Structure 1
């Protein structure tokens, strides 16, 4: 071993000799590799391309150019290009048209991921498989030309290729991965091309392929993942009778024994449908985006309606829920813009979050069994005018009636402990509200943007008012059901609540008059409240306003107490 004596008489190993030894070792390894006929993963550069070489074949690992139109070279540094490596072109923002050369037999995962300007690409016959996320998020990609037949398309290969219009699928295709074509909104895939040779169709494989068409025929050997055809434009999806998991009837998917309705094809042309009486459960997303469906008959056998079950059924205009349903799941009828009326069952216990958001309900008659309402349940029902919450309701989540701009009359449950965040935000027609005794909190933004709100009745139990609870309102009068000394200890957040604090506050008890007919004085009806207040109304006006009925109810030519007796008995 070489040693060097330093001037202090100490012996140390030469650093220079270490470097020499390392170079010699590297040279020996290189010679050994070359002599064995292999050059392993050597990083090289040619023009705008970076590549590696293995077994005398080049794999492109990166592209550093800025071309808009690119023909990928078939050779780099004298080596044939066999692969496009993982992420080689990902996030490129200039490429618009690409041609992949013959000889390339593999395109790696994310090879063209998020090339947002890419509009078309040509693949050679040597490419038979597309790896995961190969073209995912290529939002401008319109056309993929495959010279050969693709046999396998792995997960998310075309996910969110929202402009993709066509791709030729052949009988050679055997595998379609999860989300392979999900969110390809414009793609016009003929579902009849899904032949019996396909062994796997992944979860959400064709989700949101709105313009897909035709009837899919699924063999008994094909494994199909959940939501594979959700919001897919297929007119029918037929399963072989020997399929171990699913069955079908008229192109509608059920579980094997038809107790669950799994998928009603979004492209089905029928406007009406009656669910078979064998069905106990409507699965999540079962009717999602059923574009032509106007009317649905749900039998008493159904007890479960899943999340998003009827969401975005754009033509659905009325629903009668059977008494067997006691819970409505989240988003059950969300974004049904033509839905004007819903008949709620008498034993309904809960309405899920967003259940009727973005619908067109005009009135809601909630049953006395109802206990809870989820957040945003009736959000943006612009034509809803009245809401009566039965006293059975003890829990109402945030933003339930937000942006119900025509809502002018609200009756809250007497057992509601709090008015939650944003519950009535932007209900621009609401002019007065009674917060019942027992309620302790009015949370932030609860009445924010109620531009017509002039009077509010607040309970003696109120302890807290959150920020912006009454911002952008026209409060003039506040009726507080207790003394001023108690009002002054309520925790009122000062942010955005100036309208509440500036209004005229009336202290002491408040009473709402509930009049009933107490008699008839000539042609005037007399009404009296339990508090002894009374008023009179002309008999003919009262009758006509309430139903355009004749004043002379017994048709004897005289308006008198006999007509009044008929009124009390029948009206």
Structure 2
């Protein structure tokens, strides 16, 4: 009996001591047991490294340590490289200080946490934070970041913040205060699932650049840069990695981008839009680009570029040309620096290879020459039963790539039983053998002969008797020469000439 009373007395004394002096961190079940922790010189309780194996973690804002309830501070790379955590929630008021190594980079708070899926940072106090370098770097399973009320002037860099977060589809950074941020390098690099990102709170005044910012974001369709209005880009013209180098490289789903809100001089733009195969429109108005080689390399669907204010030493993947209603203009630019400032320039899409075919407005074509400056096709047939066939001077394929129509192919309309009238444009250089052979109802032929060089054998043989040939030429004598060849080689016997002066 005395032993029992003694044991009860010991328990009472123990509980009394705990109530009087506090619960010690070394006691069993203490949440601090999962962290390496210590008091710094200022008496702050630092949670230095998490070595627990829990999938779901709640980070305490306060903890009992050495007889006192103390505020906790998350420090350096506390959760870095942990392969167990999946979901993390910070208690309200939890402080984070000096994430990563301030000057040398190093691991971030959650870098390389390969199983991490969600983080709730709603209650975090960011007042003592100065860097977000690599905060979620290579968190390959991360899908959700909740909260993130980064509304104080804390960060001066966001480099590599979400690099390699390949499962992240959307992120709201509308409360991210960037007034001190000078570099967005690789912020979302490798976020291949990222579709939407909100940067509406951007208020940075001077930035070194955006190199690799969205590199490899293959699901991204566009980014709104209007919040960057008035921001000055200070990229150095002689140092790669500044300005816009590789900024959107590999963004294969990117369709439109407007960088005109930005201002800056002598910025690099090396491979900025390389392999953006869906990109159609880019606005660079207001920028001054220095080194922009391969800027649009692999942009096979690019059709509209608003040029920068100034540019030097830059080559585009192909010669640039003006487009009017889908047709080539006469002015070509081998280099971006030769393009008139702030003008609208169209870059033709990738053309079909020689020998490939397509249809345009009911007429079939085969590519005979696919050079950018002067792509050509020949007519090889017709899909409709029209009585009047007007051959255009150009045709566009399904990608709106444009080609001059320069010839009527061999037997293209041979045996057609419906055509009564055919009109050939001034771009026609050749009418191939038997092109209109046995078109028995064809009685009206209009030819603009200014570029016609070759008339194939029997091209008009066995058409309607006494067919009328209206020939546009620079002189009547030239029209008569064409008609003579049509009679002699083309089989157009008894054809009647009507001369029209070509303008």
Please tell me the TM-score bracket, short chain as reference. Answer: 0.3 to 0.5
Q: Bigger relative contact order, structure 1 or 2, given CA contacts below 8 A and separation 6+?
A: 2
TM-score (norm 2): 0.45
TM-score (norm 1): 0.40
